[in-house]
A and B are shown apart, each in its own frame.
Chain A
Amino acid sequence: MVDIVIIGAGPAGMAAAIQADECGASVMLLDEQQEQGGQIYRNVLNADTARLAVMGDDYAAGQSLASALDRPGVLRELSATVWRVDPDGTVTYSVKGVARQVIGRQIIVATGALERPVPLPGWTLPDVLTAGAAQILMKSNGLVADNAVLVGCGPLLYLLAAQMCLAGAAPKALVETQTRGDTWRSLKYGMGALRGWRTLSKGLGLIAAVRRAGVPRYKAATDVRITGTDSAEAVMFSCGGTAREIACDNVFLHQGVVPNTQISRSLGLEHRWNHRQRCFEPVVDVMGATRLERIHIAGDGAAINGAKAAELQGRVTACDVLVKLGRIDPARRHNLVRPLMRALAGQMAVRPFLDALYPPSAEILRPADDTPVCRCEEVTAGDIRNYARIGCVGPNQTKAFGRSGMGPCQGRYCGLTVTEILAKENDMSLQKIGSYRVRAPLKPVTLGELASLAETNGTPTVEEDHSHD
């Protein structure tokens, strides 16, 4: 047993681990990757100066955080896939096919974000990847794609474009979905945005760099689709009333990121619809505490605010957990948390503006009937609409109608779309429609893994879970 088990070694998880260790708590930090950093700082400890120059300062900044984890009080369990978390603090995971369990007096879930699903015609073709995937390939493998088109909207799209330009693989075009109306709507958040000026000016710098490289930008693109037989061959769209087609070898999609709620869902915690960001968030207090005594959630997995905020939130959450463990008293927590909260407010000031400026496009929220929505089971938007017509009102019901969300990804890349479609078809609120129920195992587990768990500690493993609705 350890004081705190932290799931996810991104900015929130790493910062929480360091804070906890500084206050004398024993920590076990679990992550799926071979090294700490999370997706945002992936492979940052191995990046040489050339790689750092391409990826930029925000990436390089991850080095100091990632190397600060090197401390005897923080036990790292890497290449570890967590597939079950219980409210009593038991965390079950597998490393290279062998299952293990650890019990934490307290648990911090810091599993970050996932790319929002981008159901466009052709999004399932090979050579169509998320923008995040393109970045991972650059960070981990030094791989770049020539002849790629970037499709979608949001700051990450510009960041990726700028990084590709610096790497000498400028994208062929940016096909952007945000509209002029979005720009107007964002202006009402102008004051808040100004407080986040550093973030904003960085964004403008990225856009300028992309423009300097001569990359064409098509704004307010509609009817976006990707064509090709066995892989992506072109992006088609209309822009300003003109139909266009751009031949390419790769397409990178991005429509923002959303909290990864697999663990919080599996724990039966309440989730609330965030209308501004169009996603569900687990209900937590400012410290990241949930209604379960032993479970906290920190970082983008609680609410999307970006890496810098996640790092601060990780420390805040750790302070709250440390009080629960009796490692610090509430007065000390107050002193530790106050400056963190002030910095956090600065980080969060720019969010409403960005959310309004780069909303998910109408087309991906309401895909055309023949667009695949569930990638695993190949269920289309039209299928979901048909289920609604014959009485399906909830995401879980769609599973019975046509297996959507029942494939190995467990609804990670169709859940939000299914919720959007059902809400629209049934004329119900998104909150009311809710989302897929998630159950352990959170990732597919082999019989061998189950057997290895029984061998190591003789506890029953995947019995039916009664913890949720």
Chain B
Amino acid sequence: MFRRLETTGGDHVEFEFDGRRIVARRGDSVAAALLAAGIKSFRTTQKSGAARGPFCMMGACFDCLVEIDGETVQACAVPVSQDLLVGRCKQVSLSPRDEQ
């Protein structure tokens, strides 16, 4: 479980994840804000249904995928903004080109 080093200070921003109100700090990525709120699992995998959360926090692993505005995005690469609506992705619709 993550906690803030500084318990005061910072501008607060509120957004929504999966219907739940989350209070974050301005400058947080969606992934960091969710971890700070105690949310570990962001989605389940398509193949086995296993729970997944952020792994790299630097945009490389794609484990932190969430849905914003109908698009699948990396939660660690999107900053929070007031009233942002974030959902769990029903289906990961991100795949670079298939090749043989």
A interface, CB within 8 angstroms of B: 32, 34, 39, 46, 50-51, 54, 81, 114-115, 124-130, 132-133, 136-138, 140-147, 167-169, 230-231, 249-250, 260, 375-378, 399-400, 406-410, 412-413, 437, 439, 441, 443-444, 446
Contact partners of B28 in chain A: CB under 8 A: 140-141
Q: A-side binding surface: helix, strand, loop or mixed?
A: loop
| Chain B 70-92 near chain A by CB (<8 Å), digits 1 or 0 | 01000001010000000000001
- CB atoms of B56 and A130 under 8 A apart: yes
How far does the Cβ of A34 sit from chain B's closest Cβ, in whole Å?
7
Partner of A142 from the list B6, B53, B65, B100 (CB cut-off 8 Å) is B6
CB pairs A–B below 8 angstroms (7 shown): A132-B56, A133-B57, A137-B2, A137-B32, A375-B61, A375-B63, A412-B61
Number of A-B contacts (CB under 8 A): 140
Q: How many residues of B contact A (CB 8 A)?
A: 45
Contacts of A231 in B (CB 8 A): 40-41, 51, 53
Q: How far apart are A111's CB and chain B's nearest CB, in angstroms?
A: 10
Inter-chain contact B62/A137, CB cutoff 8 Å: no
CA gap between A41 and B68 in the complex, in Å: 29
Chain B contacts with A in 1-39, Cβ cutoff 8 A: 1-6, 25, 27-29, 32, 35-36
Choose among B35, B41, B45 the residue that contacts A143 (Cβ–Cβ < 8 A).
B35
CA distance A46 to B6 in the complex (A): 14
- Assess A143 versus B2: contact at CB under 8 Å? Given A126-B40, A130-B56, A231-B40: yes
Beta-carbon contact of A410 and B96 below 8 Å: yes
Query: Residues of B at under 8 Å CB distance from A?
Result: 1-6, 25, 27-29, 32, 35-36, 40-42, 45, 47-48, 50-63, 65, 71, 77, 79, 92, 94-100
Contact between B100 and A124, CB atoms less than 8 A apart? no
The answer to whether B1 touches A230, judged by C-beta atoms less than 8 angstroms apart, is no
Would you call B60 and A407 a contact (CB within 8 A)?
A: no
Nearest chain B CB to A283 CB, angstrom units: 23
- Tell me how far the C-beta of B15 lies from the nearest C-beta in chain A, rounded to whole angstroms: 15
B41 to chain A: closest CB distance in Å?
5
Given contacts A167-B5, A230-B51, A413-B61, contact A408 B94 (CB under 8 A): yes
Chain B residue with Cβ nearest A143? B2
Q: Is B97 touching A399 in the complex (CB atoms < 8 A)?
A: no
